[in-house]
Amino acid sequence: MEEKKEKEAKKYTNKRFTSEEMDELITQIDERLHDFMKDGKYKDVLIAMGNLGKYSLNNQIFILMQMPEALTVHGMKKWNSLGRHIIPGSKGIKIFKPVVKKKEVFVTDEDGAIVEDDEGNLLRKKKDVLVGYQLGYVFDISQTDGKPIDVFRFDKGKAVENKEIILRGLSKVAEENGFGISHADEKDLGPGIYGECNHLTHQIKILEGMPDLQEISTTIHEIGHALAHSSYREDFKGLTPTEKRGIKEVEAESIACIVCNYLGLDTENFNFSYIAGWSEGDIGKFKENLEVISKQARTIIDGIDHEFELVEAKEKEEEKAIAPPEAWMPKERKELVMG
């Protein structure tokens, strides 16, 4: 038995990538992303972002190359901590993990100039520096067995039932990024307009009286604009105003698609068939947009998850407050109180 465990551990030992191997992998990933978009599978990539959001875009595509149906992936130790084990014979999904080391670097100001102390000595500090990548392995939930867990997915019923919690989480994400959210009527917004994000006033307006699911998806879309388009974006340079508006709408709609899928909402109305034509262009450039989409969608998802965690913690505290002492007190304390 011990020999078998040792063999398994050796099988998944991390190996350092050379720069040539990393370059080759990135090329393969870019080619697969090109194929996904050319074959009209851009939406599949977005949905994967919701499932695999904690990983970088390159790792997300790398995982999809090996297991297109991957839903929730973790390393072996993480699955074990969740009370699940890897099914014998399962093949690990490769990822590349950053190798970071502490290095001494000069302290610089906002303009990049090196800072000196009062005596003219150059200031230095310890900083985490990326020095390379190593091979890692993860496993999808379908490759595990054991304790049932929440696969971090809501569904349509829960989304409607917990609408206020979701909207509260979304509102906090907006506030943390300097935006307020309010409702407006059609006269204020204009005919056929469900929402708007104003970067001058830092206000998001949502059409009042919409069905629950439409209100949630519209709010996510407008927060997508707030998060992705507030700061100066180098990758927008050279685009015409029309092109800039177009790519911003693609980003906001893509962010909404990822988050809505995560919540279990219907994403049927999200149609990205027009993206296929872009696959003949500069995929490397559009990849920058995907990285923005992935990052901001994860910010929104984390905000919603955090709100649910707060509600859950509050409910536990309330249960604890009304529960009889023996239900929660340590044994020694119980004996003292109960006599």
Q: Where are the domains of the chain?
A: 2-98+133-146, 156-319
CA angle 13, 14, 20 (to 5 degrees): 135
Distance of CA 42 to the CA centre of its chain: 17
Strands 203-207 and 180-184: parallel
Core vs surface per residue 19-37: b (16+ CB within 10 A) or e: eeeeeebeeebeeebbebb
Residues of the chain with pLDDT under 50: 1-2, 5-6, 9-10, 151-152, 334, 336-339
pLDDT per residue over 250-276, tens digit each? Answer: 899 999 999 988 887 878 888 887 777
φ, ψ for residue 19 (rounded to 5)?
-60, -35
Rounded to two decimals, the pTM is 0.74
The secondary structure of the chain in percent helix, strand, coil, rounded to multiples of 5, reads 55, 15, 30
What are the residues whose beta carbons fall under 8 Å from the beta carbon of 286, sequence distance 6 or more?
A: 37, 278
Which pLDDT tens digit goes with each residue over 130-180? 778 888 999 999 999 998 875 445 556 666 778 899 999 999 999 999 999
Cβ atoms 100, 129 nearer than 8 A: yes
